[in-house]
């Protein structure tokens, strides 16, 4: 694999202790990156990532401290994977049904989090003239998920944040792309997918006939992080089994 220009192979993965984040830590480690996993409960990434740190991505001080610690101990951050995200509770449904506090909670993790993390790593990337910010968005940022107003809006915002970073920093040698998964079996979705009838309903709407594994999304992140697609920036890489093509 070819590293990004600048020679470092340090990657930070937020939400790195479970689901897509944990699979991404494993995959990037296999690809030769030195990986730091940030999470509110980081212990599950121990032994997979070179460093685990507790970090609430909605808190500016938490993010600033965590990114500085990674850079001090592991070296400049070459790749940031903004993976931490939530779907919101069942109360975060249609617009008029969604409590304001639930809306704010979803936006804080899914939009404020990637903003704060990207903001924290960009000065170092600018100084080195290289870097790649990869945000896990969702096909919900491209097509609306019924009854998930807060989540859909947050993923659309995360995708546009990615595009904004891409156009603002391309001339400085920094790229930004998004991975847009469809339905993935993770601890966040298992409550639904572990119910046979509900899983059958979901898979009936996916042309390949099944949900994705976290490792399949991690494969997409690793491809972007490899540097092989060096001309790609501002792009939503859709990995959804054909769901959004219907």
Contact 62, 77 (CB under 8 A): no
Nearest-angstrom CA–CA distance, 50 and 58: 23
Residue whose structure tokens are 């980081």: 42
| C-alpha gyration radius of the chain | 17
Active site residue 151: yes
Q: Which residues of 8-38 are buried (b: 16+ CB within 10 A; e: fewer)?
A: bbbbbbbbbbbbbbbbbbbbbbebebbbbbb
Which of 151, 169, 185, 231 is an active site residue?
Answer: 151
Residues 6+ apart with CB under 8 A from 8: 75, 76, 77, 78, 128
As annotated, the active-site residues are 151
């Amino acid at each position: 694999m070819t590293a990004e220009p600048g020679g470092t192979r340090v990657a930070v993965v937020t939400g790195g202790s479970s689901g897509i984040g944990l699979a991404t830590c494993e995959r990037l480690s296999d690809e030769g990156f030195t990986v730091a996993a940030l999470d509110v409960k980081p212990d599950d990434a121990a032994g997979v990532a070179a460093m685990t740190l507790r970090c609430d991505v909605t808190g500016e001080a938490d993010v600033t401290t965590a990114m500085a610690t990674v850079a001090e101990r592991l070296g400049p951050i070459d790749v940031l994977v903004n993976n931490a995200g939530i779907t919101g509770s069942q109360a975060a449904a249609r617009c008029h049904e969604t409590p304001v506090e639930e809306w704010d909670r979803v936006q804080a993790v899914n939009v404020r989090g990637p903003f704060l993390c990207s903001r924290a790593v960009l000065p170092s990337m600018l100084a080195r003239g290289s870097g790649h910010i990869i945000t896990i968005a969702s096909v919900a940022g491209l097509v609306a998920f019924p009854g998930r107003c807060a989540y859909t809006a947050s993923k659309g915002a995360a995708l546009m944040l990615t595009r904004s970073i891409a156009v603002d920093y391309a001339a400085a040698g920094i790229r930004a792309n998004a991975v847009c998964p469809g339905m993935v079996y993770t601890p966040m979705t298992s409550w639904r997918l572990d119910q046979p009838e509900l899983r059958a309903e979901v898979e009936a709407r996916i042309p390949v006939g099944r949900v994705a594994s976290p490792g399949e999304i991690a494969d997409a992140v690793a491809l972007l992080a490899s540097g092989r697609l060096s001309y790609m920036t501002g792009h939503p890489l859709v990995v959804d089994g054909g769901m959004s093509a219907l």
